[in-house]
Amino acid sequence: MKVAVKICGLATLDALDVALEAGADMVGFVFFPASPRHIGFEAAKRLGARVASRALKVALTVDATDHTLRDIVDALKPDMLQLHGREAPERVGAIRSRFGLPVIKALPIAMRADLSPIRFYANFADRMLFDARAPREATRPGGLGRPFDWRLLENIDLGIPFMLSGGLDADNVGEALRITHAPGVDVSSGVERAPGLKDPDKIRAFVRAARQAAERLTGGGAPSVAPKTRRRRG
């Protein structure tokens, strides 16, 4: 079983280096001022240059305008865009076409009915990301370190790859993969010692746990690697 491991919310060169050395397939950078993981364009240039081709660079945005997206693309030179706001399917398609980059669309999940929009996004996004629904009083989207009921994703068939997020850490990622057979996992707060402050040991432990779980699900063999990301235009 191939599992793409994404470490998100990286904001320092030291944390980025640990994620790359641990073998993360994707590294995520947040461009959303309300988040404690937000980075500016100058930091994005430094971090993006450090990655080179060692992993896929993912830029996370929330209902960003085309102008902001252009600035992000120019600074980070990402391989993928992750849309974590209320972007409609047509908006996802327009962004993918305009910037010529694969798009991950995040959906908040709390109950089975929250899966119904998938069919509308599947023709526009390259991957879906399922995260826990934020509390009503939250000031930013995402699960904020809390998982949802992974059983909602059992035997799910989207037609496109998906990633699992929300409350994952080294202790539970194996169980999450056993239940969902997700082809990708995404972690941020689960590898932190405080909001926005990554813990090197937790990053290494998470990548190791995800790899070991993937091997168990395939009955052993070589460590899994991320599938090639397809670029679609138009």
Name the active-site residue from 25, 79, 126, 131: 131
71 catalytic, yes or no? no
8 catalytic, yes or no? yes
Close Cβ partners of 30 (under 8 Å, ≥ 6 residues apart): 8, 9, 11, 37, 38, 39, 60
Name the active-site residue from 8, 25, 79, 186: 8
Q: How far apart are CA 2 and CA 223, in angstroms?
A: 8
Q: How many other C-beta atoms are found inside a 10 Å radius of the C-beta of residue 43?
A: 16
Catalytic machinery residues: 8, 131
